[in-house]
């Protein structure tokens, strides 16, 4: 059996790394194909090095552009590779344009598609990610749901039970492997902060960065939350966010310190020792929940409700007062159970794909 593993963005590199290692451990032939949706060294190249991954067999280098351009370019570039290499499975993860495009190209060629992290729903169809994940779930042959909650969503959408496998989330696999290395770097010392005396923030989603009112609210809210909690807020700034702030003539307020895009291990080391996470990232909601770091989510909805139900996450949107209230509520919270799996999700996925599990 040959497996084609698709990555295109930094979260996909992190979450598919365990699948690459599991294939290597089992002696399963695989192809690691990079669409190049994230294309700078800081945003993707350093991740291959840090995680000890081989260089991709192919990088399509599609770069930035409209959704239509990216999807079209990926389908055009990856189809002849699938035709030449003839993989038995194409594995995609998450909800990006790379996921939908690679899954669609494989499906049209009659190649089986496995969707890692299937069944997530925000029920906000204005989010491009929501459309991507719904369509990918629709065409996938195997849907690797990270939790029983995700499985119930898929069953409620009339997906046949035979296509669904509850595997846990591969992010747990990677966190368990990399956390000791990350904390050993003592990244906080380089930034002059002490463990549990700072909050870590990120802002990158289009619904926040493209909406001036929401972005202004978040910038103000992070500064006011820093004052209310007496925590310095370290904000790892996405290039999209930096560009928008510059266009708006807006800068981070008192108590907020902007960081450049960080290598994975540096970011993980900071995250593991933070007092709190404030973010609009879906993956960081999972990561914070697994690390035992309380999370304040700068969105009105989430496709990771398990983290909220477990007690490790709260939704606050973009209103400054709500951000401050949420930060005060979550500060010091501990003691929830990780709902995202046992750290062997990649092996559970390969068991299903190889027929080792009925």
- Active-site amino acid positions: 204
144, 114, 282, 148: CA torsion to nearest 10: -10
Question: Strand pairing partners for 257?
Answer: 234
Q: State both tokens at 351.
A: 């068991």
At 115, phi and psi to the nearest 5?
A: -105, 105
Q: How far apart are the first and last CA of the chain?
A: 17
Q: State both tokens at 304.
A: 């990771």
- How many Å apart are CA 143 and CA 159, to the nearest integer? 9
At 33, phi and psi to the nearest 5?
A: -115, 125
The three-state (H, E, C) secondary structure of the chain, written as one string: CCEEEEECCHHHHHHHHHHHHHHHHHCCCEEEEECCCCCCHHHHHHHHHHCCCCCCCEECCCCCCCHHHHHHHHHHHHHHHHHHHCCCEEEEECCCHHHHHHHHHHHHCCCEEEEECCCCCCCCCCCHHHHHHHHHHHHCCEEEECCHHHHHHHHHCCCCHHHEEECCCHHHHHHHHHHHHHHHCCHHHHCCCCCCCEEEEEECCHHHHCCHHHHHHHHHHHHHHHHHHCCEEEEEECHHHHHHHHHHCCCCCCCEEEECCCCHHHHHHHHHCCCEEEECCHHHHHHHHHHCCCEEECCCCCCCHHHHHHCCEEECCCCHHHHHHHHHHHCCCCCCCCCCCCCCHHHHHHHHHHCCCC
């Amino acid at each position: 059996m040959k497996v084609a593993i698709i990555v295109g963005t930094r979260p996909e590199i992190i979450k598919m790394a365990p699948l690459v290692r599991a294939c290597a451990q089992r002696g399963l032939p695989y192809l690691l194909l990079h669409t190049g949706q994230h294309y700078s060294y800081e945003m993707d190249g350093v991740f291959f090095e840090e995680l000890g991954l081989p260089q991709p067999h192919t990088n399509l280098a599609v770069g930035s552009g409209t959704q239509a351009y990216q999807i079209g370019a990926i389908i055009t570039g990856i189809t002849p590779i699938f035709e030449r290499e003839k993989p038995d499975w194409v594995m995609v993860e998450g909800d990006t344009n790379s996921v939908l495009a690679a899954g669609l190209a494989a499906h049209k060629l009659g190649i089986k598609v496995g969707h890692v992290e299937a069944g997530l729903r925000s029920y906000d169809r204005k989010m491009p990610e929501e459309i991507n994940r719904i369509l990918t779930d629709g065409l996938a042959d195997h849907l690797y749901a990270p939790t029983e909650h995700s499985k119930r969503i898929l069953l409620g959408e009339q997906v046949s039970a035979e296509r669904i496998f509850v595997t846990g989330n591969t992010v747990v696999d990677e966190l368990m492997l990399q956390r000791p290395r990350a904390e050993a770097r003592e990244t906080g010392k380089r930034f002059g902060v002490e463990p549990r005396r700072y909050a870590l923030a990120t802002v990158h989603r289009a619904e926040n960065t493209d909406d001036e009112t929401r972005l202004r609210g978040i910038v103000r809210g992070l500064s006011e939350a820093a004052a209310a909690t007496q925590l310095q807020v370290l904000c790892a700034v996405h290039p999209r966010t930096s560009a928008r702030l510059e266009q708006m003539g807006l800068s981070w307020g008192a108590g907020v310190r902007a960081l450049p895009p960080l290598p994975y291990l540096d970011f993980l080391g900071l995250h593991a020792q933070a007092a709190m996470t404030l973010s609009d990232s879906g993956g960081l909601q999972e990561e914070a929940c697994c690390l035992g770091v309380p999370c304040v989510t700068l969105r009105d909805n989430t496709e990771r409700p398990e983290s909220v139900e477990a007690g490790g996450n709260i939704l606050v949107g973009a209103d400054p007062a709500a951000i401050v209230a949420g930060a005060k509520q979550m500060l010091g919270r501990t003691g929830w159970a990780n709902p995202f799996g046992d750290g062997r999700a990649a092996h559970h996925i390969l068991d299903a794909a190889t027929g080792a599990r009925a």
